[in-house]
Amino acid sequence: MTASTQSISLAARPRWWRRIWNGLAILFASKTAVVGLIIVLFWVTAAICAPLLTPYSPTAQDYRAQNSGPSAAHILGTDDLGRDIWSRLLYGARIVLIMLPVGEHVWLPLGTAIWGVLLGLLVGCTLGLVAGYLGGWIDEVVMRVLDAMMAFPVILLYMIIIAAVGASATNVVLAIAIVGTPGIARLVRGLTLDIRTRDYIRAAEIRGERKLYIMFVEILPNARGPIVIDAMLRVGYAIFAMGTLGFLGLGLPPPSPDWGSMVASGRRYILAGSPWAALWPSLAIASLVVGLNLLADGLREESMRYQ
């Protein structure tokens, strides 16, 4: 197929397909983004296929194989209760990326970290749009409240929220959203201050469009690029925060396969010659966060060439 024929075939396809094609072209043009995508897809695929990749339950205990190293039966070893580390990593990735437990037998699609970032985006984008477009005293009040929240150290703010509402998956989502909202709102406000001066915004105002229409239909879609890239970075931050909370005992309650709590319980046996229970979840957290950062950085660098 020649270049002209390919361009004609793309032009004949629906607009949504052209947007996907252009986005994939930007993605695969960056080697950094491709490396990050491979790492992220590995964990997403592992989480989806967890029941097929391990015969063990993440909570099944084998007292005959406590703190054992990698073997044919347990490829990454076991923890102090004889639970298979590989299965706990897989099902822990499910909680992070794929499914949110909201009850004993009730799950929502998308993981804890993603729900936390999405909720933060919903609130942060709304506050940023309102503050940036309306300005005046509304802008001052919103920004000063958010500045006060950002004055708290991040870990301290997480601990305050979890200590107040209790440790559970839904409360971790709430904590991630609250902590992430100020940064998202400041980003969206800055983008809104720039976009509201554009000619098409003036045209919408002259047409008599409502302010909500201008903010959410005219401004927000034109600011989506930086917001999406920032959201990818924030998913990585949220995963790191989940690991930190789990390490401090404020994450998902046991026996959930929380990566942070796995590190906390396994670190006691490092000097005893059994580092596996702490090593593998630490590498899992680090690899997933690095993958998301590489993906976001690659997309940001490549997209700037098209501006």
- DSSP for 105-159, written as a single string: S-EEES-HHHHHHHHHHHHHHHHHHHHHHH-HHHHHHHHHHHHHHHTS-HHHHHH
For residue 60, being part of any structural domain is answered with yes
Per-residue pLDDT for 39 more than 80?
yes
Cβ pair 146, 124 in contact under 8 A: no
Answer whether residue 14 is part of any domain: no
Instruction: Tell me if 190 sits within 8 A of 134, measured CB to CB.
Output: no
- Per DSSP, the residues of 159-222 read HHHHHHH-SSHHHHHHHHHHHHHHHHHHHHHHHHHHHTTSHHHHHHHHTT--HHHIIIIIIGGG
Residue 170 lies in a domain: yes
What is the spatial distance between Cα 113 and Cα 176, in angstroms, rounded to a whole number? 8
What pLDDT is recorded for position 24?
Answer: 66
Asked whether residue 253 is assigned to any structural domain, the reply reads no
Are 136 and 100 contained in the same domain?
no
Q: Are residues 141 and 226 in the same domain?
A: yes
**Cα separation, 44 vs 41, whole angstroms:** 5
The number of folded domains in the chain is 2
Do residues 105 and 118 both lie within one domain?
no
Q: What is the pLDDT of residue 254?
A: 79
Q: Are residues 66 and 137 in the same domain?
A: no
Same domain for 285 and 217, yes or no, is no
Minimal CA–CA distance to 292: which of 43, 7, 12?
Answer: 43
11 half-sphere exposure, CB direction, 13 A CA radius: 6
Statement to judge: residues 156 and 207 lie in one domain: yes
Shared-domain flag, residues 190 and 124: yes
221 domain-assigned:
yes
**285 CB-near residues (< 8 Å, 6+ apart):** 239, 240, 243, 259, 260, 263
Q: Is residue 53 part of a domain?
A: yes
Task: Classify residue 30 by its DSSP letter.
Answer: -
Q: Are 122 and 88 contained in the same domain?
A: no
Reported pTM: 0.86
- Do 25 and 105 share a domain, yes or no? yes
On whether residue 288 sits in a domain, the answer given is yes
203-217 pLDDT per residue, tens: 988 888 899 999 999
Same domain flag for 50 and 82: yes
Question: In this structure, are 105 and 177 located in the same domain?
Answer: no
Range name among 8-22, 181-195, 290-304 with the lowest pLDDT average: 8-22
Q: In this structure, what token pair is assigned to residue 30?
A: 């960056």
Averaged over 254-282, what is the pLDDT? 88
The pLDDT value given to residue 3: 47
Residue 64, pLDDT score: 84
> What does the block give as tokens for 292?
């998301």
Residue 2 is assigned to a structural domain of this protein: no
Domain hosting 183: range is: 114-231
- Write the DSSP assignment of 41-109 as a string of letters: HHHHHHHHTHHHH-SS-TT---TTSTT--S-SSSTT-B-TT--BHHHHHHHHHIIIIIEEE-SSS-EEE
In a shared domain, residues 93 and 129:
no
30 pLDDT above the threshold of 80:
no
Q: Which residue has the higher pLDDT, 100 or 40?
A: 40
Across the chain, mean pLDDT equals 86
Predicted pLDDT at 165: 83
Q: Is the pLDDT of residue 9 over 60?
A: no
Task: Determine the average pLDDT of the residues in 47-73.
Answer: 88
- Residue 22 is predicted with a pLDDT of 65
Q: Which DSSP letter does residue 305 get?
A: T
